[in-house]
Structure 1
Amino acid sequence: MDLRLARVYDSPGQDDGYRVLVDRVWPRGVSKDAAKVDLWVREAGPSTGLRRWFGHDPERFGEFARRYRAELEGNPALGELRRVVAEHPVVTLLYGARDTEHNQAVVLAEVLGA
């Protein structure tokens, strides 16, 4: 399994493999054509309440990650992501956040075993 992370705002790489957007909301200013998204699993993103509470504050990331993992338990979207990762040799999880270290894709990659 080769699981990668990338900002949806960055240019797609030739070696990105299967590109999966894991944000609940489509990123502003990015056309679907330019994003080169193969699959959008919006239900994999954190709930609106959790996303707003976190506010991309790095000091809240530990608690955000704990709460987000709890939201993922029993979430069918996680099963869908596991299936996608098993079916494709390279999967890139796409996210819209500016912070490359403190976002839901980082947590998802950990949960998926990357």
Structure 2
Amino acid sequence: MSIRLARIYDAPGSDDGYRVLVDRLWPRGVSKERAELDEWAKDAAPSTELRRAFHAGELVGDAFDAAYRTELADNPAVPALRERLAEHPTTTLLTATHDEQHSYLAVLRDVLEGR
């Protein structure tokens, strides 16, 4: 299973495979048709409380990553998501975040890959 990260605002690629939006809120300005999603896994995104703490500057960097990993460890949506993703050779996790490579998606990818 190969997991890629991308922004929902980027045009879908022919090599994206299974496309999963991982955000609690629907991204502004993106229609469901344009997004070309296979799944919206909002339950695997950081909780509202964790997201607010991040945006307020209360949790940044490694502290945020650790808090998110703790949430993921107790989140029943994660094993279910892992099972669905295992059915696809390539998955692209999508977010509205500006830098998907240095966001919670990288933490989620590591957890889904067992790292």
Q: Does TM-score exceed 0.5, indicating one fold?
A: yes
Counterpart for residue 87 of structure 1: 87
**Corresponding pairs, count:** 113
Runs of 4+ in structure 1 displaced over 4 angstroms?
none
Structure 2 counterpart of 1:74, which letter? D
Counterpart for residue 2 of structure 2: 2
Question: Unmatched 5+ residue regions in structure 2?
Answer: none
TM-score (norm 2): 0.91
Q: Report the CA distance shift for 1:101/1:89 in structure 2 as closer, same or farther (over 3 A).
A: closer
Which runs of structure 2 are paired with 1:4-83 in the superposition (5 Å)?
4-55=4-55, 60-83=60-83
Question: Unmatched 5+ residue regions in structure 1?
Answer: none
**What CA distance in whole angstroms lies between the structure 2 residues aligned with 1:29 and 1:92?**
20
**What CA distance in whole angstroms lies between the structure 2 residues aligned with 1:21 and 1:71?**
18
Indicate conservation of the 8 Å contact 1:7/1:94, yes or no.
yes
**What CA distance in whole angstroms lies between the structure 1 residues aligned with 2:102 and 2:86?**
25
* 1:31-79 deviation per Cα after TM superposition (whole angstroms, max 9, x unaligned): 111011100011001011110111296x812111100010111212101
TM-score (norm 1): 0.91
Q: Check if 1:103 corresponds to 2:103.
A: yes
3-state SS of 1:20 partner: strand
**What CA distance in whole angstroms lies between the structure 1 residues aligned with 2:107 and 2:5?**
11
Identity in percent: 53
